[in-house]
Structure 1
Amino acid sequence: MSNVISIVTPVHGAGAQFLSDAYASLRRQDLPDGWSWEWCVQEDGSDIQAARHLPSDDQRIRISASRRGGPHVARTMAFARSTGLYVKNLDADDQLTPGVLARDIAVLEEHPSVGWTTSRVVDLLEDGSTVSFDGDPDPGSLSQGSAYGFWAEHRRPHVHPATLCVRRPLLALLGGWMALPASGDTGLLLGLDALSDGWFIGDVGLIYRKHAGQITTHPNHKAGAEWEARMSLIQEHASALRTWVGIAIESEAKTLGAEPST
């Protein structure tokens, strides 16, 4: 496997119109020597026509389509077609900031125990202005289990899961994104947190576009029976992984401390 970082992008509905901006943000990336990127664009259903918004002569762009299953199923299908050592999320309506891929690669190359990275986000409003937020964790290591503790108390992640960059084997172990109509990236974040340390990069890594057509504007996104079901499954998934990891650690400790057999 070559030194490739894969960017996975689900495309549905209103998101296709912003693909050219996402592509421009990819073209502005400077990667470390010996590295390249591929962009796996996944159409979530028919009649998306992502190719209309992207150049046909850039061999790094790989467009495919699958039956409509929602953004997180589409992300996982894009992951299935990818080849990179590291896998980076980029939604069709968002933009990467210059240098973010190089920063993700640097952390994962320099810290073998770190399984995933996230970074700061600014919101891009429809009038063109941007809004930043307080409350991010300190830059650096995020200890295994710390994301779950924050989420269990506040019912929201303390880092933005849209910025995730993940080691390929770890993402494969979790089966990609949780197949939910929304919040599948939060489910993935808490799954990653149960299995390994993460890393928060203090530089802004993503420009998150706010617009009327995005999934987060749906009335079921933040309240109601669907929200309750999503949150319940996310917690059960994360708790089960945390329990299983604890059992594995306890079993290993017992094995290492066992008396030699005679």
Structure 2
Amino acid sequence: MTRTVTVVTAVHAPAARYLTEAYASLAAQRLPDGWDWQWVVQEDGETGDVAPYVPDDSRVAFGQGRPGRAATARTLALSRAVGEFVRVLDADDRLTPGALARDVAALTRESGTGWAVSRALDLLPDGSTVAVDDGPPEGPIARGTVLAAWRERDFLPPVHPATLCVRRDLLLALGGWMALPASEDTGLLLALDAVSPGWFTAEPGLLYRKWPGQATAAAAHSDAGERAARAAVMADRARALAKLGWRAP
């Protein structure tokens, strides 16, 4: 029986042109025997601008929906996800060689590990890469570690949420991505950190593209009032989960 990693990609029209590179990085992945991947691409909107960039591959499932930003698109994509693990891949990013195999190893090494992240490299417009943050040492991430470090770092997570690979049942139990206009992936990461230990892989698993059209480059993303509101609700959710005492099995 084949086991599956579902890769979820939310995309809007301006970033559609990068899907070709994202797919190439996915198609080049080599998984352990008995494993395969599925790519679920969800357009945030219902235009005709994204579909031409979606590859003709039986492992790719494309869908559209009313615009609601990345959190909505990713959560809608879960309706077509068949894998026991779900890996995030933003439309403008690329996986590094071996990234999915390392995710599988992290999540099958110990049954209690609910999620895994890795180091990422910034991919600059000239094609060069830059290491921005080394992250913690490779190994287990104890519950509560990410929240504590995030608060100390002025609401910047100590690990890159765009590298997340998570058990599908745990992701669904937490309701998918937070319904926020931005930082929805960090909000999910903090919730996961509250209920389950994770794993950090030191080898880079993602090339994180830096370009003017990315969501984090928009002025609204840095608005002080909205940023404080996002941080408050993310922290309150994580603390509430920890206080309830629920633990991922």
Band of TM-score, shorter chain: over 0.9
State yes or no: 1:158 paired with 2:147.
no
Residue number in structure 1 paired with 2:210: 210
TM-score by length of 1: 0.91
- Are residue 221 (structure 1) and residue 221 (structure 2) matched? yes
Q: Quote the residue 1:149 is aligned against.
A: 148
Q: C-alpha deviations, 1:140-198, integer Å up to 9, x for none?
A: 00001100110122211000000000011110111111011100000000000000100
1:2 Cα deviation from its structure 2 partner:
4.7
* Higher mean C-alpha deviation, range 178-187 or range 132-141: 132-141
Task: Quickly say closer, same or farther: Cα 1:232–1:242, change in 2 above 3 A.
Answer: same
Q: CA deviation at 1:48?
A: 5.0
Contact 2:195 2:242 in 1 (8 A): yes
Matches of 1:26 and 1:172 in 2, distance apart?
Answer: 24
Provide the residue aligned with 2:108 in structure 1. Answer: 109
Counterpart for residue 79 of structure 1:
78
Look up the match of 1:46. 46
Distance in structure 2 (CA, Å) of the matches to 1:112 and 1:126: 40
- Corresponding position: 1:4 with 2:9: no
Q: Percent identity?
A: 50
- The DSSP-based 3-state class of the residue aligned with 2:219 is coil
Aligned partner of 2:88 in structure 1 is 89
**1:180 aligns to what SS in structure 2?**
coil
Pairwise mapping of residues 1-262 of structure 1 onto structure 2 (< 5 A)? 2-56=2-56, 58-154=57-153, 155-245=155-245
- Secondary structure of the structure 1 residue equivalent to 2:208: strand
Residue type of the alignment partner of 2:202: G
Which has the greater radius of gyration? 1
Gaps of 5+ in 2: none
Aligned to 1:260: none
What SS class does the counterpart of residue 120 from structure 1 fall into?
strand
What is the identity, as a one-letter code, of the residue corresponding to 1:126?
P
Quick check: 2:65–2:73 contact (8 Å CA) kept in 1?
yes
- Code of the aligned partner of 2:156: R
Q: Aligned residues, how many?
A: 246
Counterpart code for 2:30: D
Which one-letter code corresponds to 2:81 in the other structure?
A: S
| Structure-2 separation of matches of 1:124 and 1:48 | 28
- Output the aligned Cα RMSD: 1.3
SS at match of 1:136: coil
Matched-pair contact (CA < 8 Å) for 1:9–1:75: yes
Letter in 2 for 1:173: A
In structure 2, C-alpha distance between the alignment counterparts of 1:145 and 1:210, rounded to whole Å: 30
Structure 1 moving runs of 4+ over 2 Å: 48-51
